[in-house]
Amino acid sequence: MTRPYFHRVHAETPTRMWINNPTLEDTRRAIAAGAVSCTTNPSFCSKLLQTEQEHIRGIIAQTVQQTPDNDAAAEQVYHRASARILELFRPLYEQSGGTLGFVTIQDDPRRDDEAEHIVDVTMRCTKLGPNFMTKIPVIGAGIAAIEELVARNVPICATEVFAVSQAIQVCEVYERAAQRSGKHPPFYLTHITGIFDQYLAEVVKAEKIPIAPEILRQAGCIIARKEYRLVKERGYRTTLLGGGARGAHHFTEFVGGAMHITINWSTAEELIAADPPVVSRIDVPTPRETVEELRAKIPGFRRAYDDDGLAVQEFADFGPLVLFKTMFLNGYARLLDEVADSRASLGA
């Protein structure tokens, strides 16, 4: 009998699958399908309000009766909702000797500019389980927090990476912090491929830029492949983690690479059902003319592709990152609204 798709990928290549923002049942199915770790983000509870209302509203009701401040209550709800996912992945963490089975948790997106706050929340989260991994956006304050947390030996997922310059900057900071402190915690560099493609597609449509869809469709993968090559060539001690997938190709285009890719369970199900052949595509060359057309016609692509395309102070305002953060802000606002409504209804 032929093994399921992800089991074949894992057996034949170094590529690994993570699951994103899963429900309890999604988590169980993903682990059975081969997921090696899990990502959550500030929209996690908003998603659970659509898929597991009774469960998440129970956590909210319990939390608001114990915590008088809505911001603190929302943070605790997110952490408590994530705790059961950590527990399900913990056996894999222990069996792997602490190399797999991680679950990422990200801070309140309204406070992305507060490095000290990010560090404080991260240290509170370490109490949730040994397989907790902090997830921090690669902007100025986030990079400062990452530098501090390397010295504290906390596993790190550097996220919201859309540009090669972001990848280089945060990897260099990790290397310096690791050399200075003697600590080398697990470090994942997350390129948000699908959201980058979504952003460029919106720009192309709004500005009526003449470019073929098949060229535009490659943009995010081109950036990610360049980051993958740089990581290997420079010997950075990180694993590239694909994120923000918006289609099955945001997994299959990276098969064969020593990288991990996080996808939603719906995308995982699509790939399991399609059961495509395992084909190594990580080193498929991109025609020079494709890259040059994207660079020439779309300034956002050029800024993402070039090694020095963005300065650190420009990271937070880069269009695709703003789009992604807005999704998180909206998702977290939904959680805060639910916390306030629950408090009002309970008179807490």
Q: Distance (Å, rounded) from C-alpha 166 to C-alpha 137?
A: 10
For 249-279, what is each residue's pLDDT tens digit?
Answer: 999 999 999 999 999 999 999 999 999 999 9
Q: Distance (Å, rounded) from C-alpha 42 to C-alpha 328?
A: 5
Query: Cβ(139)–Cβ(315) under 8 Å?
Result: yes
Looking at the predicted structure, is the pLDDT value of residue 300 above 70? Answer: yes
- Assign 344 a pLDDT band (cuts: 50, 70, 90): very high
Q: Distance (Å, rounded) from C-alpha 330 to C-alpha 59?
A: 20
Domain 14-346 - what CATH class? Answer: alpha beta
Query: Cβ(102)–Cβ(93) under 8 Å?
Result: yes
For 88-134, what is each residue's pLDDT tens digit?
Answer: 999 999 999 999 999 999 999 999 999 999 999 999 999 999 999 99
Main-chain dihedrals φ then ψ at residue 39, nearest 5 degrees: -115, 145
Query: Cβ(186)–Cβ(133) under 8 Å?
Result: yes
The C-alpha angle with vertex 195 and arms to 190 and 198, in degrees rounded to 5, equals 155
Compute the 3-state secondary structure of the chain and give helix, strand, coil in percent, each to the nearest 5: 60, 10, 30
The residue behind tokens 């950590």 is 86
User: b/e string for 317-334 if b means 16 or more Cβ within 10 A?
Assistant: ebbbbebbbebbbebbbb
pTM of the entire predicted model: 0.95
